[in-house]
A and B are shown apart, each in its own frame.
Chain A
Amino acid sequence: MEAEDLGLPPKGGMDLPEDGVDPPEQKISPGCTETGEDELIVALDKQVELSAAQNNGPLSVADGKVDVQEELSEAREESSEKDLSDSASTDNTLEDSCEFSRPLVMGGGPSEEEEVAAQPRPATHRDEDVTAESWRAHRKHVFVLSEAGKPIYSRYGNEEALSSTMGVMMALVSFIQSGDNSIRSIYSDDRKLVFVQQGPLVLVSVSSTLQSEQQLRQELLYVYDQIISMLTQASITRIFERKKNYDLRRLLTGSEKILDRLLNLVESDPCFLLGAVRCLPLQPPLRDSLGSLLQKAITPNLVFSILVARSQLVTTVQEKTVIDDCRLEPTDLHLLLNLIGATSAFQTGEIWTPICLPRFNPDCYFYAYISYLDADCTVCLILLSTDKESFYSVSDCKKRIEEGMRTQNYLQALSSGLKSPSYSVGMVGAPDLRHFIYKPLDIPDNYRQLPQFTSPELEGPYCSESERHRLFDLYHYLHSRIHSTLRPLRLIYHVAEKETLLAWVTSKFELYTCFSPLVTKAGAINILTKLLRWIKKEEDRLFIRYPPKYSTTPNPGKGSKGVRTDGAENGFFGGL
C-alpha cells in the first residue's frame, strides 16, 4: 500500500496548517481554516515546499527545548485560529485561548478531585448532600426533569432534594419558551449549561469539562435515548399526555444505575463520541464461522443476533428483511450494551426483557434474550426477537449456538483472543505513538455497514482514571474542533502539556493520535504513515468488513417496519 493511497503527502513533506511557525502561518492558516477538504489538500501541497526549510527551523529547536517553545507556538496557533474562525461568536474570544491552554494542562486537577470523591461515592452518591461544596465541584452534572418541573434523574444527589433547583431550570426553559424561543445553553466563567428538550422531558448538563456544547448536547441525547430504550417514546408521550405532572421515577426506579453507568462511559469510551462500534480484533475466518453459526441458529421473529465479548462486537447478523431498509445503529448497540453491563451482576441466568432500540424505532419494543456463554461472563449473546412469547424458542437458539461453539472449539479460540485485553499500541512499532482512535469512513455504502472504530488499550501514562480523563478531555477537544459547526477543521496538531496530539479527518478515515511530548512534526508524520500502513494491513482483523445477513422463510406480509410490535399493543402501561 502506498502512502498516497491514504492521502498522505510524501514522507516528511507534510506540514500542518495550524503550524505556529511564523512565515507559513500567515500563508496557510487562511487557506486551511476557511476551506473544505479539496482546498486543504492544495494547502497541504503548498506546504510541502515550505516544510523542508521548517524542519531545520524553529521546530527542531523546539524539540530540544521541550515543551516551552511548542507551548508558546501552540498558544499562538490557538489564538490565531480563534482570530480567524470564531471572531463572529462572542463566547470564543481571545481570552478563551489562554483559558483554553490552562484547563487542558490542568485537566488532571478536577479529575483527581473526582477520583477522591469517587471513593466513598458508589453507595452514597445518591445521598450526597446537595448543598455541600463537594456536590458543586463535580465535573459534570446531568439532570432530567419533566416539563412540569418534576425531577426524574440527577447524576449526583437525590432528585427529591434537588426539586427546587430543577424548578429553577424549568422556569428558565419556560420563560424562554414563552417568548417563542428555546434555551440552548448558558455560559458562565467555568461552566457550560446545556439544555435539551425532547418531548415532555427536559435534560440539562452542567459541565466544567472542555467538551463543546454540541458534545454535551449529544450526551444528553444519549441519556434521553437510554430512557427511551427502557420505556419507549410512545409510552412516555402517552403518560404525560394523560397526566402532565406524572412522576416518571415510578417507572424508572432502579434504572438510575444504568444512567449513571452511561454517563461514566460517555466520558471514557470513544464509541459514544464517534458514534461507532468497537470490534473485537479477530481473524476473519473465525469471525466468519461465528457469523454463520449465528445465522444457522434462528427462529421465527428473531431479527438480530449479536455476539459480543467484553463489550466489543464479535459479529452480528440480521434478518434480511430488516437489514434491507435498516441497520443496527451503533447508538442502539451501545445503549443495549450499557444496559447489559449495568445489569450483569447476576450472570448465570438467561435474561428476557423488553428493550427499545431508540434509533431503530423509538416507539416499539424488541424482546432481548441475553446470556453469557462462558463461565467468566466475557462472551455474551444477545438475540432480539419481536415476539414477547418466544423466550423458549430463542433460548433454544442459544443452546444450538453454544453447542456449535463447543464442538468447534470457538469459545476457546475467542477467549484466547480475549486474554490479552484488546491490543497494544506497541504492535504498530512506533515508540512515540501512545494511543490512537481510528474510524474508517471508506465503507462500501451498499453494505450499510455498522460504523466502526478501533483503538488500542490505554497504557503507560494513561492507566489511572484521572489521566484517562485528561486524555479523553483532549480527544473531546480535538473532536469538537474537527466537528465544529462554525468552522470544521480537517487537521489539528495540538501540543498539550504532557503529550502531543494530532487529529485528522479525510474522506477515508477519522483519526486521533496521541504522541509522546517529544515527538517532532516530522516524526509525527512518519508515525502516521506507519500507523496507517499497519491499520491497512490489519483491517480485516480489526473491522467487520462484510456483515452477514440471512433471510428467513419468505413472509410477504412481513415488511421490516411491520415486523415490529407496536408499543401500544404489547401490554405495557395498560394500566396507566
Chain B
Amino acid sequence: MKPDGKVVLLGDVNVGKTSLLHRYMERRFQGTVSTVGGAFFLKQWGPHHISLWDTAGREQFHGLGSMYCRGAAAVILTYDVTNFQSVVELEDRFLALTDTANRDCIFAVVGNKVDLTDACACVPEAEDGHLSEKPISSSVPTKVKKQVRMDDAIAFYKKILKYKMMDEKDAPAAEKMCFETSAKSGYMVDQLFETVFDMVVPTILEQKAEGSSQTVDLHNYKTAKNTQPGCCR
C-alpha cells in the first residue's frame, strides 16, 4: 500500500525531532541517539496513511534531505528554543532542502524544549497562559534563558512564504503554524502533529482525485502544474 501523504521533520542536530515523533507515536520521552539518515514511519490518519520522515540533522546527511522531502505535503521545521543558532540553521541549511517538496507544501515551524526555558523570560501574553498550564518539571533546577521567541518564529515563517513565493493570504496563518513544544513534557506535541495531519488531508484528497483522473488528463495536468506562476522551481 502506497502512503498517501508525506510529512518530513527537518532541523538541526539535537533540536529534538526524534523525541517529538517518539512522544507523539509512542507517548513517551526517552533517551534518543542522533538519527542516521532518515527513519520512516507510517501513521494511520482516518482513512489515510500518512508517511512520516524523521531526518538526521547532522551535516553529514545533508545530501539526503532533498530526497526525503521529494513530494512532501508538509514540512515541520524544528528548532530548539534555547539555541538561537538552530533557527539560523533552518534558514541557511534546511529551507533549501524543501525545494523538492510539493508546490503547495504546508510548513510548520516548531520551537522545541520549552520545558527548559525560564518561564519569566518567555514572551508575555499568549505564551503565558500555556506555560503556566504546563507542569514545568521542578526537577530541572537550571532554567535557561529562552533564546528564540515566538515573534522570531513568526518572522521566520513569513520568510519561508517569501522564499516559496507564496502569498501570505493564501498560506495558513503564521500564528496557526508556529508551535512551541516540549517533547519531554508532551506539551503541544499532539496539537502540532494533529494540526499538520489535518491540513495534509485536503492535499491527499486532491491527489487522490487527481490520481483517478490521471489516466485521462495526466499530460495536460502536469504541464499545467509546472507552468503555474507560483511555482518557484
Binding site for B on A (CB under 8 A): 230-231, 250-255, 257, 339, 342-346, 348-355, 368, 388-389, 391-392, 395, 570-575
* The 4 residue pairs across chains A and B that have the minimum distance between CB atoms: A353-B37, A254-B34, A349-B39, A571-B63
Give Cα A252 to B59, complex, Å. Answer: 8
Q: Are A570 and B63 in contact (CB under 8 A)?
A: yes
- Cβ of B32 within 8 Å of any chain A Cβ, yes or no, is yes
Partner of B32, one of A255, A345, A352, A353: A345
Give Cα A346 to B30, complex, Å. Answer: 9
Among residues of A, the one whose C-beta sits closest to the C-beta of B96 is A575
Q: Are A353 and B63 in contact (CB under 8 A)?
A: no
Q: A253-B34, A254-B56, A351-B36 are in contact. List 14 more A-B contacts (CB 8 A).
A: A254-B13, A254-B58, A255-B34, A255-B60, A343-B34, A344-B33, A345-B32, A346-B18, A349-B39, A350-B41, A352-B37, A354-B37, A354-B64, A388-B67
Among residues of B, the one whose C-beta sits closest to the C-beta of A339 is B36
Among residues of B, the one whose C-beta sits closest to the C-beta of A341 is B33
- Cβ of B25 within 8 Å of any chain A Cβ, yes or no, is yes
| In the complex, chain A residues whose CB is within 8 Å of the CB of B102 | none
Give Cα A250 to B64, complex, Å. Answer: 17
Q: How far is the CB of A117 from chain B (nearest CB, A)?
A: 20
Chain B residues 33-65 with CB under 8 Å of chain A are: 33-41, 54, 56-64
- Cβ of B26 within 8 Å of any chain A Cβ, yes or no, is yes
Q: Are A346 and B22 in contact (CB under 8 A)?
A: yes
Q: Can you spell out 13 A-B residue pairs with CB atoms less than 8 angstroms apart?
A: A253-B58, A254-B13, A346-B32, A349-B54, A351-B38, A351-B40, A352-B40, A353-B37, A353-B56, A354-B37, A389-B67, A571-B63, A574-B63
Among residues of A, the one whose C-beta sits closest to the C-beta of B38 is A352
Give Cα A344 to B25, complex, Å. Answer: 16
Partner of A354, one of B33, B39, B61: B61
Give Cα A571 to B170, complex, Å. Answer: 34
- Cβ of B117 within 8 Å of any chain A Cβ, yes or no, is no
The interface bits of chain B over 56-88 (1 if a CB of A lies within 8 angstroms of the residue's CB, else 0) are 111111111001000000000000000000000
Partner of B34, one of A257, A354, A355, A574: A257
Q: How far is the CB of A491 from chain B (nearest CB, A)?
A: 43
Q: Are B63 and A351 in contact (CB under 8 A)?
A: no
Dominant SS among interface residues on chain B: mixed
Among residues of B, the one whose C-beta sits closest to the C-beta of A231 is B60
Give Cα A344 to B38, complex, Å. Answer: 12
Among residues of A, the one whose C-beta sits closest to the C-beta of B68 is A352
Q: How far is the CB of A350 from chain B (nearest CB, A)?
A: 4
- Cβ of B203 within 8 Å of any chain A Cβ, yes or no, is no
| In the complex, chain B residues whose CB is within 8 Å of the CB of A352 | 37-40
Partner of B13, one of A253, A257, A355, A392: A253
Partner of A351, one of B2, B37, B58: B37
| In the complex, chain B residues whose CB is within 8 Å of the CB of A344 | 33
Partner of B33, one of A253, A257, A355, A572: A257
Q: How far is the CB of A127 from chain B (nearest CB, A)?
A: 14
| In the complex, chain B residues whose CB is within 8 Å of the CB of A575 | 62
> Known contacts A257-B33, A388-B67, A573-B63: does B39 contact A346 (CB below 8 Å)?
yes
| In the complex, chain B residues whose CB is within 8 Å of the CB of A346 | 18, 21-22, 32, 39, 54
| In the complex, chain B residues whose CB is within 8 Å of the CB of A254 | 13-14, 33-35, 56-58
Give Cα A574 to B34, complex, Å. Answer: 22
> Known contacts A388-B67, A391-B40: does B18 contact A251 (CB below 8 Å)?
no
Partner of A342, one of B33, B40, B54: B33
Give Cα A345 to B19, complex, Å. Answer: 10
Q: How far is the CB of A384 from chain B (nearest CB, A)?
A: 13
Give Cα A368 to B67, complex, Å. Answer: 15
The interface bits of chain B over 12-31 (1 if a CB of A lies within 8 angstroms of the residue's CB, else 0) are 01100010011001100011
Q: Are A348 and B41 in contact (CB under 8 A)?
A: yes
Q: Are B40 and A345 in contact (CB under 8 A)?
A: no
| In the complex, chain B residues whose CB is within 8 Å of the CB of A339 | 36
Q: Are A252 and B26 in contact (CB under 8 A)?
A: no
| In the complex, chain A residues whose CB is within 8 Å of the CB of B25 | 348
Q: Are B34 and A353 in contact (CB under 8 A)?
A: no
| In the complex, chain B residues whose CB is within 8 Å of the CB of A230 | 36, 60
Give Cα A230 to B60, complex, Å. Answer: 8
Q: How far is the CB of B12 from chain A (nearest CB, A)?
A: 10
Q: How far is the CB of A490 from chain B (nearest CB, A)?
A: 43
Q: How far is the CB of B131 from chain A (nearest CB, A)?
A: 26
Among residues of A, the one whose C-beta sits closest to the C-beta of B1 is A399
Q: How far is the CB of B139 from chain A (nearest CB, A)?
A: 14
Q: Are B61 and A353 in contact (CB under 8 A)?
A: yes
Indicate the member of B25, B37, B67 with the most A CB atoms within 10 Å: B37
Q: Are B14 and A350 in contact (CB under 8 A)?
A: no
| In the complex, chain A residues whose CB is within 8 Å of the CB of B31 | 345
| In the complex, chain B residues whose CB is within 8 Å of the CB of A257 | 33-34
Q: How far is the CB of B23 from chain A (nearest CB, A)?
A: 11
Q: How far is the CB of B11 from chain A (nearest CB, A)?
A: 13
| In the complex, chain B residues whose CB is within 8 Å of the CB of A391 | 40
Among residues of B, the one whose C-beta sits closest to the C-beta of A235 is B60
Q: How far is the CB of A365 from chain B (nearest CB, A)?
A: 10
Partner of A353, one of B13, B38, B62: B38
Among residues of A, the one whose C-beta sits closest to the C-beta of B12 is A253
Among residues of B, the one whose C-beta sits closest to the C-beta of A253 is B13
Q: Are A345 and B13 in contact (CB under 8 A)?
A: no
Give Cα A317 to B206, complex, Å. Answer: 42
Give Cα A392 to B68, complex, Å. Answer: 11
| In the complex, chain B residues whose CB is within 8 Å of the CB of A573 | 63
| In the complex, chain A residues whose CB is within 8 Å of the CB of B67 | 388-389
Give Cα A355 to B14, complex, Å. Answer: 21
Indicate the member of A255, A339, A345, A395 with the most B CB atoms within 10 Å: A345
Q: How far is the CB of B35 from chain A (nearest CB, A)?
A: 7
Give Cα A257 to B34, complex, Å. Answer: 8
Among residues of B, the one whose C-beta sits closest to the C-beta of A388 is B67
